[in-house]
Structure 1
Amino acid sequence: MSGGITVLWFKRDLRIADHPALARAADLGRPVLALYIVEPGLWAEPDASGRQWDFVREALGDLAGALAGIGGKLVVQVGEAVEVLDALHRDHGIAHLVSHQETGTLWTYDRDRRVADWAKSAGVAWDEVQQTGVVRRLNTRDTWAAQRNRFMAREQVEVPSGLTWVDAPSDPWPDLGLLDHCPERQVGGRQQGLSLLGGFLTERGKTYRSAMSSPVEGEWACSRLSPYLAFGCLSGREVVQATAARQAEGPGRGWAGSLKSFQARLAWRDHFVQKLEDMPDLDRRNMHSGYDGLRGTDPERLRAWCAGETGVPFVDACMRYVSATGWLNFRMRSMLMAFASYHLWLDWRQTGLHLARVFTDYEPGIHWAQTQMQSGTTGINTLRIYNPVKQGGDQDPTGVFTRRWVPELAEVPDKYLQAPWGWEEAEGLAYPPPVVDVVEAAREARGRIWAVRRGPEFRAEADEVVRKHASRKDRHFVNDRAPRKRAAKRDGRQMDLGL
């Protein structure tokens, strides 16, 4: 073996358990330098926020402790990735760079291309290792589910021992100018994630299937693992296998359906990230070009929606809640996005960036695929325009959630809570009237979207989207390629979570 060190580059994989890249670094047999790069350019992107950075800092502290437990040290340096790696190469002589494959926006895609060019010119071998069910350079969606399932079924990678570690100075924590700190967000780190996983599989998850659609009950019944998966404090595989082990126990009445539903959503998680892997500009370009130029911008509507001041109580309650906590259950995320795209007729790229920033658990692949799905721009998904008044009545029947987050409605009778504009004393409220007529705006949006779908060139491109991105029939997934019997007019070739 020739000289030189191995740099283990941590990215969105802030753990040492079930860490294939760490195992690969150990197998190379060279001294290992464990590195995390704080990239100011990444954190200056419009989808980044202080709440995410605070979570990452806490997770890095947890990671540093875990590495110390096996004799290592986490080196944290600040700068552009190529510059940091080049400086370490000059000081230590890097023979191998090892990291996990990362599926992110064009910013990280372009950065990785620059790193690849640098590694080639510097004579450094770069191994990018798979850590999720996402498949790089996927040839066909027809085999993706099987590949994903095989990966999840493999034994977890053990934490290696006996490594020789390389020390290097760490930089001080930088001031990234991110002011959104969200004190009510979840706390970062693997130990927090493990605690939540254990609680979900033994207690909270029993009512997951029935409660996950409600922002009231879902706060407790949902796993709350999303930020720990997004930043790699937990591996998807260990969560899948822990859930399978709990299923094998036969935990009793009420559990079977909930655990099956949870496994399905873990599979859907990889399915959505795969879309971004296969289309790196998913956050910038309509999946179906027939929707190009369809929507514009309205600064006042955008401001009202971001602030939770649309005059539609359940929409505003959900927006204020997620702004304060950094989390919201899936159905209400979908409603917020759909309301912005259909009722307010705002471009998904603007509204998607706002939600990306307020989600502590921002995972680009899931977020931008869902943003387009809920905006009707994929060309293949069922058109779903939520009625926010009905959603408020269905998901918050007592009004406790709405009244907590929209206290301006304290005096409004229950009958009018979700539609206060119908109350005879509404003009005296310190709450704005609705920015749109909910019924009329939905009708207009539906007509505009369907007008595009009826175009002569629409079907051919939609078929290509199906070929490249749609899920296939598999026991882990809903059969989303066949239209539902009760909705024959819908285009059902892509999933409808039915949440």
Structure 2
Amino acid sequence: MLHVVWYKRDLRIGDHRPLQEAWREKEPILPLYVAEPSIWQESELSIRHLQFVKESLEDLQGAFERLGGSMFVTIAEMESVLGTIYESVGPFTLHAHEENGTPVTYERDKRVRQWMKDRGLLFHEYQHCGVVRGERSEELFKKDWKEFIETPVMNAPDSILTLDQEILPSTITTNMDTLLRFKIGGYRIKYGQQGGEGLAHETLESFLDGRFTRYKEELANPLASTNTCSRLSPYLAFGNISMRQVVQLTKEAIEQCDKSDDKKQLKAFNSKLEEHCRSIQWIEDHPQFACNSGNPTFDPSRDVWQEGFERWSRGETGFPIIDAAMRALIKTGWLNFRSRAMLLSFACHTLRMNWKEPADYLAGLFVDYEPGIHYKQVHLVVSPESMKRVCLYDPIKEGKKHDPEGRFVRQYVPELKHVPDSYIHEPWKYDGFFHLDYYGPIVDVGKANRHVRARMADVESSGDGLKKKEADKEGNEQIVFDLFTE
């Protein structure tokens, strides 16, 4: 019988249980990636994610060929693909990792399970990163995650017998360029990280070999963190390397450390790995939060501001650290955690935008977009449990604290490259500002943030948004920054 290995966000050969279980049967295997229009189009996913997937699949194709097999790809809905396989080769068994994502992927998985069940076919699903599915998942997570992570890593098979392509219709192919026909929106990138299992392991190796030594100190630095952070996030998001491989190799590195500070750095990183998986557990338990507000109480304090969104989304707000962060993200697909929170807070609090559009826009830019991690951060920043936990950032203070010499700003906002350090985060105070090809601040950030706190406190205390419309005119007059009178 044929064994179909359905690849999703697990694009590797090493430590891949679905592949291992299929291989152990010693029967033909069909390793298959399905680009599903309902998952990719009109969603938060973008062309840069597909670009990363294609690079990963090309790397995977090379790995399968070295083992004597092939990797296959097609563009269609999963149920349609299963029907095609069933008509071409007859009964088969399906193997896949569980995908812990948005309601869209959750509903797709339910349909696939039902399709297989209706035809009396076996569908084996396996834990992906220690995340628990079903009732009592939060209670079981800690114990199950530890057991999962400590299980020995599965080596890649030494040879693989895959199905002959001639048996399959031409729509299921080994030609990865097929994905170029798949049209989705977003921005391509030239300077971001490339996908592939080999690159994932090289990145981990370079981090454990020495890049980690200032991991804790530089986490908040938008420029230094590009080197001192692990940069494994896109490889974990699309499964080029398994969480188990990363944790076990990190623990080995900790044991081999001679310096106590080096151990502290790696232990800090290791603790983030469990936190990473706990966030994925969160979206597994609360998939509705990819679409709905975590705390609707604060929603009436926000509105739609198209001009504000457009300037924010292009990095043209007039606040150098905000604009540098957005332009860096557009160019490279990566930002450190604090800069991500700052961009979200500035859009949803300071500019008072409804959270959904900025959140989905950022998801489309992050090459390492992982639904659980992304939407958990969105709701921690945008939908706190109470006013006491509201994250409001002053971009002037943020810039002065984390980019005091303006190196990050000058790298991504070249209009300001000749502005002195003392004015780099407040260029409108510089005598030569009007000769710069740069924007004035979109708001008076001090007044805007004070107004946000007042509005949100009012909404929280009243429990509704009845005073929203009455405050709109006054609020807008308060926050618009008049460059010529400040």
Q: TM-score, normalised by structure 2?
A: 0.89
- TM superposition shift of 1:281: 2.0
Taking a change above 3 Å as real, the CA distance of residues 174 and 320 of structure 1, as seen in their structure-2 partners, is closer
Residue 422 (structure 1) aligns with? 429
Partner Cα separation in structure 1 for residue 28 and residue 344 of structure 2? 48
Which of 9, 12, 16 is the aligned partner of 1:12?
9
Residue 23 (structure 1) aligns with? 20
Which of 151, 169, 174 is the aligned partner of 1:154?
151
What's the RMSD between the two structures over aligned residues?
A: 2.0
Letter in 2 for 1:79: A
- TM superposition shift of 1:225: 0.7
- TM superposition shift of 1:330: 1.0
Q: More deviation in 110-119 or 79-88? A: 110-119
Which of 133, 138, 147 is the aligned partner of 1:136?
133
Partner Cα separation in structure 1 for residue 330 and residue 163 of structure 2? 41
Partner Cα separation in structure 1 for residue 398 and residue 336 of structure 2? 13
Taking a change above 3 Å as real, the CA distance of residues 108 and 140 of structure 1, as seen in their structure-2 partners, is closer
Task: Report 1:342-381 matches (<5 A).
Answer: 342-377=349-384
Are 1:64 and 2:61 an aligned pair? Answer: yes
Partner Cα separation in structure 1 for residue 61 and residue 89 of structure 2? 21
Letter in 1 for 2:182: L
Taking a change above 3 Å as real, the CA distance of residues 381 and 134 of structure 1, as seen in their structure-2 partners, is farther
Partner Cα separation in structure 2 for residue 201 and residue 100 of structure 1? 28
Partner Cα separation in structure 1 for residue 164 and residue 356 of structure 2? 43
Partner Cα separation in structure 1 for residue 388 and residue 24 of structure 2? 44
Unaligned runs of 5+ in 2: 465-486
Q: More deviation in 418-427 or 345-354? A: 418-427
Partner Cα separation in structure 2 for residue 46 and residue 96 of structure 1? 30
CA contact (8 A) 1:286 1:378 kept: no
Partner Cα separation in structure 1 for residue 25 and residue 355 of structure 2? 45
Residue 281 (structure 2) aligns with? 274
Residue 94 (structure 1) aligns with? 91
Partner Cα separation in structure 1 for residue 276 and residue 365 of structure 2? 19
Letter in 2 for 1:326: G
- TM superposition shift of 1:37: 0.8
Q: More deviation in 373-382 or 390-399? A: 373-382
Q: More deviation in 131-140 or 364-373? A: 131-140
CA contact (8 A) 1:75 1:167 kept: no
Partner Cα separation in structure 1 for residue 450 and residue 121 of structure 2? 58
Residue 470 (structure 1) aligns with? none
- TM superposition shift of 1:333: 0.9
- TM superposition shift of 1:376: 2.9
Taking a change above 3 Å as real, the CA distance of residues 25 and 451 of structure 1, as seen in their structure-2 partners, is farther
CA contact (8 A) 2:416 2:436 kept: yes
Are 1:121 and 2:128 an aligned pair? Answer: no
Taking a change above 3 Å as real, the CA distance of residues 31 and 410 of structure 1, as seen in their structure-2 partners, is closer
Letter in 2 for 1:403: R
Q: TM-score, normalised by structure 1?
A: 0.87
Cα deviation code 1:5-63 (max 9, x no counterpart):
11110111000111111122234454321111122332213312221111111100111
**Secondary structure of residue in 1 paired with 2:128:** coil
CA contact (8 A) 2:349 2:382 kept: yes
- TM superposition shift of 1:72: 2.2
Taking a change above 3 Å as real, the CA distance of residues 140 and 125 of structure 1, as seen in their structure-2 partners, is closer
Q: More deviation in 249-258 or 10-19? A: 249-258
- TM superposition shift of 1:146: 2.2
Name the one with the larger helix percent. 2
**Secondary structure of residue in 2 paired with 1:8:** strand
Are 1:298 and 2:295 an aligned pair? Answer: no
Letter in 1 for 2:288: D
Identity of aligned residues (%): 36
**Secondary structure of residue in 2 paired with 1:77:** strand
Are 1:436 and 2:433 an aligned pair? Answer: no
Unaligned runs of 5+ in 1: 458-499
- TM superposition shift of 1:454: 4.2
Are 1:175 and 2:181 an aligned pair? Answer: yes
CA contact (8 A) 1:376 1:449 kept: no
CA contact (8 A) 1:106 1:280 kept: yes
Residue 269 (structure 2) aligns with? 262
Residue 100 (structure 2) aligns with? 103
Partner Cα separation in structure 2 for residue 149 and residue 451 of structure 1? 44
- TM superposition shift of 1:452: 4.3
**Secondary structure of residue in 2 paired with 1:254:** helix
Partner Cα separation in structure 1 for residue 203 and residue 372 of structure 2? 23
- TM superposition shift of 1:390: 1.0
